[in-house]
Structure 1
Amino acid sequence: MRSEALGEGNFGMLLVGNVVINRVVANCDVFRNTTTIQQVIYQKNAFEGVGTDLWFGSANGKERELALRCINGYRADPATDALWYRNPGRDVPCPPEFYGVLAGRFKQHCFYDPKANLNCNL
């Protein structure tokens, strides 16, 4: 969460955590065989932050607390059902679609829900 959204603050990191947990529970398309957090995180090309300096730093108490909140069911808009997010850049509008449909934006991250026909069961 830190390596993907540190600049978005605690709430931004929680939203990224929502996406991770959503991918664990989703039963559709590319997420059908990702049933653990570790499988989701290390899925090929899933997260740009994997392997960065922020990735290798130890999580602090607050970061652990945020992760546990997501694991224990915390969800918030615009990432309540989101399976994807992207950072198009400062002052750049979110594309209406990016794998899924735009659910909303928080700071620089755009969050995307799966299309209904995917039957992801979120």
Structure 2
Amino acid sequence: MAVIQANANDVRLLARLMRAEAEGDGELGMLMVGNVGVNRVRVRCLDFVDINSIERMVWQSPGGFEAVHYPYFYQRAREKEIRLAQRCINGERFRPAEFSLWFFRPEGACPAQWWGQWNAGRYKSHCFYSPTQSECPDVYRTY
């Protein structure tokens, strides 16, 4: 059962984002990027109060994703990534991104904080950041 509303176009859009942002980190890395995207659609807090669809999440500006500025993002979604995107939409969560709303790829170690948010952990090249429960209780809500 889906935890956010998504039609076939939404699933393909999320799949393209996941691949463009984290293909180098493998399937698990792409799933974690998918978690961040789905979390941004699910919550109504911080920078994401008005982000109520996958399309709005992907194209959010400011605060969106760097990948949308590069040609690789605009390639057709592949079946592999579509299946991964659907898993995230269906509510699968993966540590350390399960409650994260942000990620980035630092040159070195993950900073303890990034834009005032606490580091939840690292997976390969990406550091994931989660709000506190008092800042954004929605992200910690179970399905």
Report the TM-score, using the length of structure 2 for normalisation: 0.80
Pick from 19, 24, 28: which aligns with 2:36? Answer: 19
Residue in 1 that maps onto 2:127: 110
1:87 aligns with 2:105: yes
Structure 1 residues not aligned, in runs of 5+: none
1:103–1:97 distance in 2 versus 1, CA, 3 Å: same
Structure 2 residues not aligned, in runs of 5+: 1-17
44-53 or 75-84, larger mean C-alpha shift: 44-53
Aligned identity (percent) is 42
Tell me the CA shift for residue 29 of structure 1: 1.7
Tell me the CA shift for residue 51 of structure 1: 3.1
Structure with the larger helix share: 2
Tell me the CA shift for residue 116 of structure 1: 3.0
Provide Cα deviations, 1:18-60, integer angstroms capped at 9, x if missing partner: 0000000111121000010110000014100003121111111
The alignment covers a number of residue pairs equal to 120
Q: CA RMSD in A?
A: 1.0
- Following TM superposition, the consecutive aligned residue runs of length 4 or more in structure 1 with deviations greater than 3 angstroms are none
Distance in 2 (CA, whole Å) between partners of 1:116 and 1:29 is: 12
Contact 1:19 1:83 in 2 (8 A): yes
Tell me the CA shift for residue 97 of structure 1: 0.7
